[in-house]
Amino acid sequence: MNTSTQPNSNPITKSDFIDLLSGEFTGKKGFGVYAFLSFKDIENLYDNFLGDNMSARVFIKVYVRNF
């Protein structure tokens, strides 16, 4: 029996994702997420997150570091 689960099997909500993303941008870049990304960009990023196996915090930290 396969009992392994994906870390994103219970993903965070989009609004919580945006809050984390904005906090990371503010901390690392000095401005919130909307200074750098459009709402459509954020929606696409959230969709990418849902298809990934990383936790939201790790996914966001990697994204902002590489931005």
According to the model, what pLDDT value does residue 40 have?
Answer: 98
In this prediction, residue 37 carries a pLDDT of 97
The pLDDT tens digits of the residues spanning 31-42 come to 999 999 999 999
What is the reported pLDDT for 5? 46
CB 33 within 8 A of CB 21: yes
Return averaged pLDDT per consecutive 10 residues of the chain, 67 residues in all: 50 94 97 96 97 94 96
What is the predicted pLDDT for the residue at 11?
A: 73
